[in-house]
Amino acid sequence: MDEMLFSQMEAWAPTGDMGHDLSPMGMFMAADIVVKAVMIGLVLAFLVTWTVWLFKTLELAGSLARSRRALARVSSARTLADARDALGGRGTVARLVAAAEEELNQSEGLAAAGIKERAESRLVRLEAAAARRITQGTGVLATIGSTAPFVGLFGTVWGIMNSFIGIAETQTTNLAVVAPGIAEALLATALGLVAAIPAVVIYNHFTRRIAAYRALLGDSSAAILRLLGRDLDRAPTPAYAIAAE
């Protein structure tokens, strides 16, 4: 009985010639080629996430600061010409002012209501184009956040499947043989979470910042339309309008 118990304990104990490096790098080097490819892809996704974070943070910070300054200048201007001179022709808000002035010049002598409607249409399209530009690069964060856990899970399933195949081939349940393969497989899931969690958090943060930027553009467009209305009210009434009255 003692000999049988001793032999069972010996079977479950790690043997001296089966040492494994269970550090992350060691497990990566020992993993199957498919699991290695999954891990490399997840590490690249992690690097892409933080690269996008760096560039978009700088871009959004600059755009928000410029838009706030531009809104303050437009709000304090008396005419579209004053707003144009205050902005100096730089930035998205300056393009909005230029579009309103262009519509005013092209519609000289026409009814004020039609001018306002056409100018508003131009401003809406420019706002939409600016919003598309500022959101470029954030879609990859949403993709990484939604797919990285599943990619990591695929690597884990593949690695565990290989571990069970190894168990069947060696015909042993020795933990020293089974555990390293399972640990290598689980590393893929861990990397998937490491790639996905920051991507989701950063994407949500950028979504809020982009919404603030779009709100600033909307406020700027409203201020520009007010300036346009004042300019139209100051302009002399067209002769055809007087005749119609």
Query: pLDDT tens across 54-102, in order?
Result: 999 999 999 999 999 999 999 999 988 899 899 887 889 999 999 999 9
Pairwise CA distance, residues 233 & 78, whole Å: 12
Alpha helices in the chain (DSSP H): 2-12, 24-30, 33-76, 80-87, 92-106, 112-135, 139-170, 175-234, 239-244
Residue with tokens 């399209």: 125
Quote the pLDDT of residue 19.
Answer: 53
Q: Please state the pTM of the whole predicted model.
A: 0.77
**What token pair was written down for 204?**
């949500």
Quote the pLDDT of residue 110.
Answer: 82
Quote the pLDDT of residue 8.
Answer: 44
pLDDT below 50 — which residues of the chain? Answer: 1-18, 238-245
Residue with tokens 């550090």: 23
What are the angstrom distances between the C-alpha of 92 and each of 60, 95, 135, 239?
13, 5, 15, 36
Pairwise CA distance, residues 173 & 166, whole Å: 10
Residue with tokens 């909005």: 96
Quote the pLDDT of residue 66.
Answer: 93
